Amino acid sequence: MADVTKHPQPPSAAEGDCLTDAAAFDASDIVILPAGHVDPVYEKKAKLLNRAIRDIGMGAYQYQLTAVIAFGWASDNLWPIVTSLIFAPVKNEFRPEHAPLLVLAQSLGLLAGALFWGFGCDIFGRSLAFNLTLGVTAVFGMAAAGAPSFAAVGIFVALWSFGVGGNLPVDSAIYLEFLPASHQYLLTVLSVVWAIAQVVATLVAWPLLSRLTCVEDDDATPCRREENMGWRWFLIAMGGLTVLMFVTRFCFFTIYESPKYLVGKGRDEEAVRIVHEVARRNGKPTWITVESLRACEPEGFAHHESTVANAIKRKLEDVKLDRVKALFRTRRLARSTSLIMAVWAFIGLGYPLYNSFLPYIQATRGADFGDGSTYLTYRNSLIIAALGVPGALIGGLLVEHPWFGRRGTLALSAASTGVFLYASTTALNSASLLGWNCAYSFTSNIMYAVLYGFTPELFPTPQRGTGNALTATSNRIFGVMAPIIAMFADLQTAAPVYTSGALFIAAGVLVLLLPFESRGKAAL
């Protein structure tokens, strides 16, 4: 193994130099946010850390991190799909007056999770939230299987969704901060796991919910618990799978705090120690030192003392609006932040308005065509989910293509998703409805893959969790509106589909107005 105790000098600079000279940098050092958009001292140190991570390269630590980060992506799609799949059997068993309240409970839990974990990871660090989100989801997901009433199911759905809501805001931040700029596209490719999770959930649900579920939704025919155990066994299976993911993360992988996050907190020594540890795990040397980071500071720059009292004081000071204000520091940055929040908001309403009720829509529309059996509904859901897997892979290819990039791919896929939803209203039989839904699944998975990868790149590390929280909160607030609309809309008509399609197309247009393109540039 290479001797990582030595500090080879960075190209074109002596050890201890901040590399502030333009000549010291090359094309691979270009960052997404131009100079002047973030704190200048942090910006210089972040560029130095980017160079160090680039020189270490993609290695064992990043590949292991990819594996455990994938669990967060999986959970983010798995559990909302679980809510969608159990919606009909739970409705049949408990006969609530307003069944969409189940989806409302999920949306409120996701909103609370996005706020708490997203903002919290910028204050208390990434590593704590990274381990806890899956644990919270697993515990309450399995507990929901024993729920004795519709209200209890709703409470457990909200609680497991609280854990789910923190997965992507936290996981995308910490993953991006350890990736060399040359491999940031993996943040998009990783969404293939998001699509696979939907396939797994639907594959497990198919035999359980099609055979162990009350078929008739008839008030005159009671749906007894013993005849409707499929959704409960399904929750136990999904909860058990999430427990395995949590145990793997917690017991078999050591997560390090993000070096750029630590530098943003003034903890340069810890940041350098972690970079050296990553270098050791990768079997590579590294040149970065505390002195090279300190060289980026102007004369008289004040450092925080690392006492417990001061650490607590700094955390309390962090609980304020300064982190939000930093994302609107300049006109272009404010435009970028506002537009990406709007994109997330439109998609946040469009996706659950259609997708959360997709099995119900399939069943009712299928019944109109004479083939609305429970078995066929879940079979079709599996086919639709499977079409999402190649979508995420293609998204990973297009974001690196010079003709498309992040903005072009996201705009095209979002608008196409809306077009296919409109086209689905022309279906004359269940086969054509299935075909349009497959096309929708394919393009929407490209859209989500790019959205999940592109969004964290647009924020600097000290405020990345906050930025992720703002976009996720926008998404979840509008998501709360979906079940409310469904309670008063007629799901037997195409009204929810028209609304969803318009929202996706509008989101695609907004993407084209974003001022920054991150292809080929490093995140700060």
Domain membership of residue 10 (yes or no) is no
Residues of the domain holding 437: 60-255+325-511
Domain membership of residue 276 (yes or no) is no
Predicted confidence at residue 239, as pLDDT, reads 93
More confident residue, 451 or 2: 451
Name which of 228-237, 295-304, 334-343, 404-413 the model is least confident about.
295-304
∠ Cα 472 478 482 (to 5°) = 130
Q: What is the mean pLDDT of residues 103-124?
A: 84
pLDDT-based confidence at residue 138 (cuts at 50, 70, 90) = very high
Say if CB 411 and CB 512 are below 8 A apart: yes
Read out DSSP for 292-315? HHHTTSPTT-------HHHHHHHH
In Å, what is the CA distance from 490 to each residue of 91, 182, 481, 485? 17, 48, 15, 9
Domain membership of residue 524 (yes or no) is no
38-79 pLDDT, tens digit per residue, is: 677 878 888 888 888 888 988 899 999 999 999 988 898 899
Say if CB 57 and CB 2 are below 8 A apart: no
CATH number, residue 206: 1.20.1250.20
More confident residue, 169 or 14: 169
179-191 pLDDT, tens digit per residue, is: 888 888 888 888 8
37-49 pLDDT, tens digit per residue, is: 667 787 888 888 8
Domain membership of residue 136 (yes or no) is yes
* Beta bridge mates, 31: 522
Say if CB 38 and CB 329 are below 8 A apart: yes
Predicted confidence at residue 28, as pLDDT, reads 52
Number of domains forming the structure of the chain: 1
Q: What is the mean pLDDT of the chain?
A: 80
Phi, psi of 522 (to 5 degrees): -85, 145
More confident residue, 375 or 449: 449
Domain membership of residue 333 (yes or no) is yes
d(CA 398, CA 394): 6
381-435 pLDDT, tens digit per residue, is: 788 888 888 888 888 888 888 888 889 999 999 999 999 988 887 777 778 878 8
228-251 pLDDT, tens digit per residue, is: 888 999 999 999 999 999 999 888
d(CA 223, CA 231): 13
Instruction: State yes or no: pLDDT of 99 exceeds 70.
Output: yes
Domain membership of residue 38 (yes or no) is no
DSSP-assigned letter for residue 399: T
Q: What is the mean pLDDT of residues 329-339?
A: 88
Predicted confidence at residue 301, as pLDDT, reads 62
Predicted confidence at residue 365, as pLDDT, reads 54
d(CA 48, CA 55): 11
Of 280-294, 424-438, 485-499, give the range with the top mean pLDDT: 280-294
Domain membership of residue 17 (yes or no) is no
204-221 pLDDT, tens digit per residue, is: 888 888 788 776 555 667
More confident residue, 519 or 387: 387
Domain membership of residue 315 (yes or no) is no
